[in-house]
Amino acid sequence: MKTKQIIGFSLMYLLSVTVYSQDKSTARFGSVTEKDFTPKVYSIDTGASAVVIADIGSSQIEGNTKGWFSLVFKRYKRVHILNKNGYDVANVEISLYSEGDYEEQLEKLKAVTYNLENGKVSETKLDVKANVFKDKINKNRVIKKFTFPNVREGSIIEYEYTVTSDYLHNLQPWEFQGGYPRLWSEYNLTLPEFLGYVFLTQGDKQYDINTRKDGIESYRVADGRSIGPTDRVQFTASVTDYRWVKKNVQALKEESFTSTLGNHISKIEFQLSEYRHPLTYRRIMSTWEKLAEELMQADYFGLQLTKDNGWMRDIVRPVVEGAVTPSEKAKRIYAYVRDNFTCTNHQRLTMDQNLKTILKNKNGNVAEINLLLTAMLKNADLQADPVILSTRSNGYTYSLYPLLSQYNYVITKATIGDKAYYLDASEPGLGFGHLATRCYNGHARVINKEAPAIDLNSDEITETKFTSVFIINNEKGRLIGSMQQTPGYFESYEIRNLVKEKGQEELTKGIKKAFGADIDISNFRVDSINKPDEVIKIKYDFEIKDEREDIIYLNQMFGEGYKENPFKSAERFYPVEMPYAIDETFNLQLEVPQGYVVDELPKSLVVKLNAQDEGMFEYRISQSGDNISFRSRVRISRTYFLPDEYEMLREFFNLVVKKHAEHIVFKKKK
């Protein structure tokens, strides 16, 4: 690197770091100068397509003219777009809460694009009236969105706005982290003593600035909605000013084995818990038992399970006819609902239609289908309760706090004898007692009188796969063999779906492609393809069509090995979340090709993942006369790994990939 380049990079580093080393960001709306365009890359992430220069928010409570209080949220954000891959940051969405005809108000929106032209800063302002659009997402969420005009590589964009809200339960959260690096991320909050909120923090809780100051604030509340004179109240109250600042925050990028990035973004959220003096005391946040009681009495959830459903007996009776044991009855009912109803939405917690309508239409959202399943099980005198959970893509839940907004899924718990079965009839082809991997996301709640917590942990499920290959020479001197394989349950589920959608030929095509040698397959069969409660078994015979070169390189994994490391990044800033534990065994018995001798045999190896034996790689190979025995086993018994364990996991799989790529070398006899 030339000296001039080094000096330029050092200057760039100073611009991107030291400018933001003080207690306040220097970025202000409209203060963009020629110097702000100088950095072409930033030291925080030299490959970033855009960098957030500053993102600053504040929330406070003010008295309003409706006899109550409003939340006032203000935000300012500036971003430097470095290349076209960062253009998406110029698309802005502002989420607003709504109830009926009332919604939070977006006010004082300003947005400007800055470009450097002939050494001078030019401005292109957003026409707010013409180019801000509104989308109604659902009954409680509205999106206001716009796109910055005249965006180019090198543009700087900034915007600010205010949201006024009459919904005190919707105190704005703050994300300190996102898809692009942030040089300065700050949130300020002023809370009066008469409103209690629970603070929920996530991700890295280390702040560059974290202050709390107490003071006194004056509040004016008026109510001019009545015909008579306006009622006015003025009082003072103690307040606490909170300030959180993070500087030089790394971007979070999607990696393999991630439930959702939302679980790991550094952020803070708030939940209204109570009204305090001088207001009339009122507990806002419920208990789990109280929330469960409310849900079971709600017509959109549990009421239809407990009210008179005598008409349902005519539906249930023929389904369970001939079933002797409770287990048989439960399996019959589960299969009936699973096979006869179509799920229209896998992201719902409540019902939009009653049970009779669901039965008539033969479809419903996930809550409707599994609440119907629960009702039918109860009607057959079986113990069953609904369970609410948050799927992996929806994020973790806080088990201590009954925050219904965090949940997006309903399943059924059926108790038979002393064993609990968790059921999801919304997923075609899913076996009794099995759940899709999306449901294994930790804390969930049974909705009954006791409202017990349960833990659907991915550590509890192991995808066990066993493959056995036997290869000999036939009378023509060709290598022929047989393969028997028992995939794990989730792979079996995927294979069933593949065969159902595209036929068995698509499965054999994939096997031939992965095998690693030119083969002919015969006697191909898949057992238990129509038994969704069980794993499938794949069996076939094959002949290897090799060209009989002087030297043969044979990969002993025959397409079943790890071809690449699932953990590609050199470092990781958030945990690894595998969907299940794994235990994969591959056995091979191989006869040396006729007319050849073994020239080179890989070395055996056994490695543990860590001292706790939470993973193991076994690679054993030996020769006895003209027979070669080989065994590979990869076992990972834990599914959640912290960032500081990532290198250990990555190196483990590097070793697996390297060994699985090795070959047995055969040399033709002289």
Residue type, 169: H
Q: Rounded to whole angstroms, how far apart are CA atoms 566 and 571?
A: 13
Encode pLDDT of 63-77 as tens digits. 998 889 999 999 999
Residue type, 654: N
pLDDT at 5 over 50: no
Residue 471's pLDDT band (cuts 50, 70, 90)? very high
Residue 438's pLDDT band (cuts 50, 70, 90)? very high
Q: Which residues pair with 444 in a beta bridge?
A: 389, 454
Q: Rounded to whole angstroms, how far apart are CA atoms 480 and 471?
A: 6
Phi, psi values for residue 98, rounded to 5°: -140, 155
Using CB atoms within 10 A of its CB, is residue 130 exposed (0-12), middle (13-18) or buried (19+)?
exposed
| Cα dihedral value 264, 267, 273, 274, nearest 10 | 170
pLDDT at 16 over 50: no
pLDDT score of 555 = 92
Percent helix, strand and coil across the chain, each rounded to 5?
25, 40, 35
Residue 13's pLDDT band (cuts 50, 70, 90)? very low
Q: Which residues pair with 5 in a beta bridge?
A: none
Encode pLDDT of 141-197 as tens digits. 999 999 999 999 999 999 999 999 999 999 999 999 999 999 999 999 999 999 999
pLDDT score of 4 = 37
Instruction: Give the torsion sign (CA, 379, 384, 386, 390).
Output: negative
pLDDT at 21 over 70: no
pLDDT at 397 over 90: yes
Give how far the C-alpha of residue 97 lies from the chain's centroid of Cα atoms, to the nearest Å: 23
pLDDT at 321 over 90: yes
Domains of the chain: 3-283 (2.60.40.3140), 288-456 (3.10.620.30), 462-668 (2.60.120.1130)
Q: Are 269 and 244 in contact (CB under 8 A)?
A: no
Using CB atoms within 10 A of its CB, is residue 507 exposed (0-12), middle (13-18) or buried (19+)?
middle
pLDDT score of 226 = 63
Q: Rounded to whole angstroms, how far apart are CA atoms 362 and 428?
A: 13
**Which long-range contacts does 229-237 make (Cβ < 8 Å, 24+ apart)?**
230/65, 231/67, 233/63, 235/278, 237/192, 237/193, 237/194, 237/278
Would you give the end-to-end CA distance of the chain in angstroms? 56
Identify which of 264, 253, 381 has the alpha carbon closest to the alpha carbon of residue 323: 381
Q: Rounded to whole angstroms, how far apart are CA atoms 352 and 300?
A: 7
Lowest mean pLDDT among 219-233, 382-396, 601-615: 219-233
Identify which of 45, 52, 48 has the alpha carbon closest to the alpha carbon of residue 83: 48
Encode pLDDT of 91-149 as tens digits. 999 999 998 878 999 999 999 999 999 999 999 999 999 999 999 888 889 999 999 99
Place of tokens 């992430």: 45
For the chain, what is the radius of gyration of the CA atoms?
31
Residue type, 662: E
- Residues in CB range of 606: below 8 A, 6 or more apart: 616, 617, 618, 619, 620
Place of tokens 């409707």: 368
In this structure, what token pair is assigned to residue 412?
């059924």
In this structure, what token pair is assigned to residue 63?
């008295």
In this structure, what token pair is assigned to residue 434?
């099995």
pLDDT score of 670 = 80
Q: Rounded to whole angstroms, how far apart are CA atoms 612 and 628?
A: 32
pLDDT score of 228 = 59
pLDDT score of 629 = 98
Task: Report the chain's mean pLDDT, rounded to a whole number.
Answer: 92
Q: Rounded to whole angstroms, how far apart are CA atoms 122 and 113?
A: 8
